């Protein structure tokens, strides 16, 4: 309902004896709005205000590029665009970053699939140095790891040396 129509209805509703509170409820406006408009002699003409270009508009392209390349926080981006001349508030940046990250997260991810026995990933990991109570020496602990491509089954075994000779000499493999 347009504002000018609502005001015309206000005057007709007061002629019917309704209170300002009842008029406000019927029109979906505040009681204060009804009171202020009834005091006026003429019906005001409603017009939209000119849309103000948001301060963040000129920085959106830069922020989009940064968010696509890096997973930055709104705080980090806010500081970056402030250095570029942004004069707006943090809340606007935070809302925009949240919107962009939601759209980036909704992109589908294609999972790489293999047939059984077709692929496995192998790696060594170092866990540091430990004291072996049996040999009474400090030893390095290494981990040999295999992940099968099809089933994602994980095989892990620990060694004191990370070399192929140690691995090949292990009767369990």
Owning domain of residue 65: 50-108
**Domain tally for the chain?**
3
What pLDDT is stored for residue 71 in this prediction?
84
131 and 102 part of one domain: no
Domain-embedded: residue 173: no
Domain-embedded: residue 126: yes
138 and 99 part of one domain: no
What pLDDT is stored for residue 79 in this prediction?
93
Last residue in a domain, options 30, 47, 64: 47
Query: Which is nearest to 12 in space by CA: 47, 43, 52, 55?
Result: 43
43 and 60 part of one domain: no
Q: Return the residue matching tokens 């009842």.
A: 22
What pLDDT is stored for residue 4 in this prediction?
43
55 and 103 part of one domain: yes
Query: Which is nearest to 173 in space by CA: 127, 132, 126, 120?
Result: 120
42 and 61 part of one domain: no
6 and 22 part of one domain: yes
What pLDDT is stored for residue 102 in this prediction?
82
Q: Which DSSP state fits 57?
A: G
66 and 23 part of one domain: no
Give the Cα-Cα-Cα angle 167, 170, 172 (nearest 5 degrees).
120
Domain-embedded: residue 158: yes
List the alpha helices (DSSP H) in the chain.
3-15, 20-27, 31-39, 60-69, 74-83, 90-105, 164-168
What pLDDT is stored for residue 10 in this prediction?
46
Sheet architecture: strand order including 137-148: 120-132, 137-148, 154-159
pLDDT along the chain (173 residues), means of 10: 44 66 83 81 64 77 89 91 90 91 72 84 90 89 90 89 77 51
Domain-embedded: residue 172: no
63 and 104 part of one domain: yes
98 and 66 part of one domain: yes
Domain-embedded: residue 159: yes
What pLDDT is stored for residue 43 in this prediction?
64
30 and 56 part of one domain: no
Domain-embedded: residue 115: no
């Amino acid at each position: 309902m347009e504002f000018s129509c609502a005001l015309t209805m206000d005057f007709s509703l007061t002629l019917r004896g309704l209170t300002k509170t009842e008029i406000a409820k019927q029109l979906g406006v505040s009681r204060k709005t009804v009171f202020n408009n009834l005091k006026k002699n003429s019906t005001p003409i409603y017009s939209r205000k000119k849309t103000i270009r948001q301060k963040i508009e000129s920085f959106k392209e830069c922020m989009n590029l940064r968010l696509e390349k890096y997973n930055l926080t709104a705080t980090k981006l806010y500081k970056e665009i402030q250095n570029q001349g942004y004069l707006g508030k943090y809340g606007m940046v935070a809302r925009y970053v949240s919107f962009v990250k939601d759209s980036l997260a909704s992109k589908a991810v294609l999972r790489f699939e293999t047939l059984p026995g077709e692929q496995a990933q192998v790696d060594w990991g170092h866990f540091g140095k430990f004291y072996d109570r049996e040999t009474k020496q400090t030893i390095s602990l290494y981990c040999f790891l295999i992940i099968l491509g099809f089933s994602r089954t994980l095989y892990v075994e620990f060694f004191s040396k990370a070399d192929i000779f140690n691995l090949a000499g292990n009767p369990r493999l």
